[in-house]
Amino acid sequence: MTAVLLATGCGTLGLDGQLRRSETAESAPVTANTPTAETLRPEARPAAAGTFSGGTAQTAEALDTTSAAEKAAAQAASGGRDLGVTIASLGAPAEPGFWLKTPLVREPGKGRVRHGATGKSVQVDLIPIDGPKTAGSRLSLAAMRLLGVPLTSLPELRVYQTSP
């Protein structure tokens, strides 16, 4: 009885024609177009794909322009007021120096970061960014390298302020 009502309803609503058309469309043969000389084809990637905007591939060593004296001074960091813990990602790799852009500070100042897993500390410029204190931070390439963390990692860092 239900099947009869459904069939009658499809005819009344005009759906029976749509059902027949979809059945015909499914059974129609599919033909492929053969490419011609005028067919658009994808272009090959340039040889320098995946490089920085400078046009040449660069390594972390090439981008890290800090001197040996600057590295030694940055590693001599100690003390400071504990501001808390943050998760850091790599900041702009072409931006030189030792810095941490973080929502843990409201004013620029001097500080240091300590990576618990490696036990290493680095003196950094603390640069405020907007966001809740629980938001992540961005760490300079030079600082990440001195901490001994992979550049693609998200290290947990303890942040200390050594001067306002």
Tens digit of each residue's pLDDT, the chain (164 residues): 555 445 555 555 555 555 555 555 566 676 767 777 777 777 766 654 444 445 555 777 777 777 777 777 777 767 789 999 999 999 999 899 999 999 999 999 999 999 988 889 999 999 999 998 889 999 999 999 999 999 999 999 999 998 87
Whether residue 85 is contained in a domain is answered as yes
Whether residue 28 is contained in a domain is answered as no
CB atoms within 10 A of CB 52: 13
Which CATH number do you get for residue 124? 2.40.40.10
The domain in which residue 143 lies consists of: 63-163
What predicted TM-score, i.e. pTM, was given to this entire model? 0.60
The residues near 127 (Cβ < 8 Å, ≥ 6 apart) are 99, 100, 101, 102, 105, 108
Count: domains in the chain: 1
Whether residue 1 is contained in a domain is answered as no
